[in-house]
Amino acid sequence: MDISHCSECNNNKIVKVKENGKEFIVNNNSQKLITKIKIDNCLIIEGKRCDWLLEIDSPCSLALYIELKGKNIEQAYDQLLSTLNHSYLQERHKESKKECYIVASRVPKAGTNVQVYQARLKQSHPKVSLKVKSMKAEITI
């Protein structure tokens, strides 16, 4: 599968993805190569899918699956899970560490719903973490 039409690579110190006021930021102080891939309506056209995928290094050592959402955490979880289970991405990231992020407009910080989705993901994908943030998520690599 050719991803060039859906991706861009750079080693900028700050890499962002944004949508409808929600934002995910990577502080890339060591200037690692980051491939930013638009999943929704580009790499995956049909079915449930998350918005973005950031691959750190080449070959990819860390895959960040990102869903920028309104307030429907359940739908965001389903979209991330569907993307994680996509056969092309499973093969592409079989040796990579994987993390999932939901950035939503309204989120109970450690509400029961969030904990249920984190537990569910651990059952189906034991090595994948899920973090849910409100409006903005920021990580440093």
Evaluate if pTM is beyond 0.85. Answer: yes
In angstroms, the CA 118 to CA 131 distance is 8
SS3 133: strand
User: Could you tell me the residue ranges of all domains in the chain?
Assistant: 4-140
Average pLDDT over residues 85-104: 96
Predicted confidence (pLDDT) per residue in 46-83, tens digit: 999 999 999 999 999 999 999 999 888 999 999 999 99
CB count in 10 Å sphere of residue 125: 16
Tens digit of each residue's pLDDT (9 = 90 or more) over 37-56: 999 999 999 999 999 999 99
CB 97 within 8 A of CB 127: yes
